[in-house]
Structure 1
Amino acid sequence: MASSVAKEISYEDLKALLGKSENLFLVDVRSKEEVDKGRIQGSVHIPVDTVEAALAMAPDQFKAKYGVNKPLLDAPELVFHCMMGMRGKTATTKAYELGYVNARNFTGGYKEWSEKNGK
């Protein structure tokens, strides 16, 4: 059983993955209001209170709702983020509990991302 301590990913590692990886599955767990003000390009919006239900969906339901293929349980680069890290940690822990063994939380969140990218 995975520990309750969520694995983390740094800004530098995430930026590198965004630049080179086709496997990155980046989930923005903030509210719609927050996402409407700015988001990390390529992220999928799944609010934190719906993450568990979303990851428990059948793949065809997930694709119909979110427009992308549902990540596999062993997806190598599954990353969650919120504004400053707390909701991302909650979502990452939920993903672990559902069997997503490589889920990670971008602890700096959109706050760090926007500060370093000027958006």
Structure 2
Amino acid sequence: MLPGRLAPHLCKFVARVSSTGAAGSMDGGHVIAYKDMKALVASGKAHIVDVRLPEEVANGRIANSVNVPVAEVEEALKMDPKTFKMKYGVDKPQMGDENLIFHCQMGRRGAQATEIALALGYAKARNYAGGYKEWSEKEGK
């Protein structure tokens, strides 16, 4: 059973995904590739949310990312902007932000966080499916 007001939104999202034929997975419109991710990181124009645990982030992170563990994503996105900024040290993403990107180590938790964001109305949220694993391999870190 899903908590609170998220359940109806998630049901709509699941219905939308199912109707696209992408049963159980996000369609290509909500995933970002390494090349595009690299350009966004370089531009500084992205809200990059690392949904790994703090101890994972301590071993390395993507520049300008903010750590919001996947278990906190729903609560964080429901916070008022002032509380979000106090807790995470960055401005809260806006509903219409073009470049709200979630990532984890290898893609699964990032996809989960992206689905939560989509269900809450962040229609342009995307998952960097390669995760920190791909990033660190390609960046030589």
Q: TM-score with structure 2 length normalisation?
A: 0.80
Listed as ranges, the gaps of 5+ residues in structure 2 are 1-11, 18-25
Structure with the bigger percentage of helix: 2
Listed as ranges, the gaps of 5+ residues in structure 1 are none
Q: What is the count of residue pairs matched by the alignment?
A: 118
Larger radius of gyration: 2
Provide the identity percentage: 53
SS across alignment from 2:48? strand
Give distance in 2, aligned partners of 1:18 and 1:42: 7
Give distance in 2, aligned partners of 1:82 and 1:10: 14
Give distance in 1, aligned partners of 2:40 and 2:139: 15
Root-mean-square deviation (Å): 1.1
With a CA cutoff of 8 Å and minimum separation of 6, indicate the structure with the bigger relative contact order.
1
SS across alignment from 2:98? coil
Q: Which aligned segments of 4 or more residues in structure 1 are displaced greater than 4 angstroms? A: none
SS across alignment from 1:79? strand
Kindly state the Cα deviation for residue 23 of structure 1 after the two structures are TM-superposed. 2.8
After the TM superposition, which residues 1-119 of structure 1 pair with which residues of structure 2 at under 5 Å, given as runs?
1-2=12-13, 3-4=16-17, 5=26, 7-20=30-43, 22-119=44-141
Q: Is the 8 A contact 1:18 1:24 kept in 2?
A: yes
Kindly state the Cα deviation for residue 52 of structure 1 after the two structures are TM-superposed. 0.3
